[in-house]
Amino acid sequence: MHDLLRDSLSSAPRDSPCGFAACGPADRVDLEEAARAGNFDLLRSVTYNRAWIMGQSYCRSRESIDSCEPYLHSLWYVYYQCAKHVSHESFEQDRWVLDILRTRGRGPLTRPAPGGGIDIARTPDGTVWNDLPFLATDMAECWINDCAEMDSKQRLNSASFLAKLASTRIVNDRLCQIALVLFRNTFESERPLGGSNEPDDEDRRRTMHVLTIASLLPSACAWIREAGHNIKLLSDVSWNDYSNSTIGRGGFTFVQSELGQRAPGGFSPWRWLYWLKRLHQIADEASKADEKLLAEQAAKAIDIMSSHVKERNSQILRVFEAAGDAVTKDKDFMGLKKEW
């Protein structure tokens, strides 16, 4: 393994202050090996080191922040690898989430401007560090590219970490695009139920099409458990920040459904209701197949979703109430009825 802490201001080329193979293939391999080996103290030092070098390099040079962008991508990749390999049940994962929030707490990266005033490090994706540029896009890209390849533990660890981070509402809720992708694959695509005891080892050749509901449901439930309130809030306001991408697009079974006929892309009350209905269907199918763990996971997610909309005067409830008999009399939505 290469020395992950090898980079310093003294070794950086003067004409490219942040120039090194940060987030290049060799660097990524080293970071992944360290995460697999559980060297999380080392990786935490790497995050501090790269954030510090980036700040010092920008402040001491006249280069634009663009020259330091590789360090940002490398920084987020460290967090992504730790998300995969730190147990979702451990306090260590919560510490990594807190580390990102503390990075944001550094405030804007600035330096004296020629002739007076200050320069602020602004990227096409926002200000360093206030906006955590490229965090949402990098995490979404990593999830989309790796979800099928990961084993069941890695997938659940990653989903839990990303959901915890999204629950803080940083980067303007854009991390929730990962929930849309996951829910589309879990609830809005035709795939077999599978079983909770089936082998689900890491396989770099595996594609999303061969995953079963059993492979994806724990990750979807982690999002509902850790960030379900955020998902409800975004659904209440039909939030869609992905009008120019395929991320917000509904899956095949949702688009073909009666609920899907009424919904735009992104989050919406109709789509939230569809996810709730699919959880009921999955719970029923799992019970009939004697898949008790899957049935329990779906049932807990149903309870969480239902309680979230009942806690406040949710727009979802108002949409449900006005939806007509085809929806209000559906047995899967009986839990939403109450005395208003």
Instruction: Provide the H-helix boundaries in 188-324.
Output: 213-236, 252-256, 258-261, 269-288, 292-311, 315-321
Which pair of tokens denotes residue 257?
A: 């459904």
Report helix, strand and coil shares of the chain as percent, to nearest 5. 60, 5, 35
The pLDDT-based confidence of 18 (bands split at 50, 70, 90) is very low
CB 195, CB 210: distance < 8 Å: no
What is the pTM (predicted TM-score) of this model?
0.93
What is the spatial distance between Cα 175 and Cα 138, in angstroms, rounded to a whole number?
Answer: 10
Q: Using one digit for the tens of pLDDT, what is the confidence trace for 74-108?
A: 999 999 999 999 999 999 999 999 999 999 999 99
**Which helix (H) or strand (E) covers residue 110, if one does?**
strand 110-112
Main-chain dihedrals φ then ψ at residue 112, nearest 5 degrees: -60, 140
Interval 253-281 mean pLDDT? 95
Mean pLDDT throughout 212-236?
A: 98
- What pLDDT score does 116 carry? 87
How many angstroms separate the CA atoms of 20 and 24, rounded? Answer: 9
d(CA 39, CA 20): 23
Stretch 140-153: mean pLDDT, rounded?
97
Mean pLDDT (the chain, rounded): 91
At residue 73, the pLDDT reads: 95
Query: Locate tokens 């202050």: which residue?
Result: 17
Q: What phi and psi values does residue 110 have, to the nearest 5 degrees?
A: -135, 165
- State mean pLDDT over 143-155: 97
* Exposure of 235 in the CB half-sphere (CA atoms within 13 A): 28
